Amino acid sequence: QRGRPEGDVVGNVLGGWGESLRLADAAGIQRERIILDPGFGFGWTPEENLEIVRRLDELTGAGLPLLLGPSRKSTLGLVLDAPVEGRLEGTAAAVAIAVAKGVDIVRVHDVAAMRKVAAVADAISRGRWHAS
């Protein structure tokens, strides 16, 4: 995110994606091989990271899979005033909101726990639930 213009974080993400997709198209990369990631925790301020999660629904309309990697990030540590090993609940909250807002893929460390969080968030927000 270095050198990005000041202003609307979602606008900056979308603008960056537009440029990246133009470069991918020019390189002959097929769209079905692309996953979009707004870069939570990479070059954004803590406030911008939180805004990205809050406004994820504005980023899901690009027609490509959307990934978010909030796991144990420092922004969560600042919110919780917690070290890395104390950020599980913050990661769970971010994963639940991300899934509810339409994110397709979450990148996490605590896979088993976050799978359960994502399953419940998906069942509530999208009505995707199947009895086993």
**Domains of the chain with CATH codes:** 9-126 (3.20.20.20)
pLDDT per residue, tens digit, the chain (132 aa), is 555 556 799 999 999 999 999 999 999 999 999 999 999 999 999 999 999 999 999 999 788 999 999 999 999 999 999 999 999 999 999 999 999 999 999 999 999 999 999 999 999 999 988 776
Choosing from 107, 115, 126, 128, the catalytic residue is 107
Alpha helices in the chain (DSSP H): 9-26, 46-54, 74-80, 88-100, 111-126
pTM value is 0.91
Active-site residue, 107 included: yes
Catalytic residue among 4, 22, 73, 87: 73
Instruction: Check: CB of residue 40 under 8 Å from CB of residue 52.
Output: yes
Query: By the 8 A CB rule, do 105 and 67 touch?
Result: yes
Listed residue (73, 8, 14) closest to 46, CA to CA: 73
Cα pseudo-dihedral 73, 75, 80, 82, rounded to 10: 50
Q: Is 116 a catalytic residue?
A: no
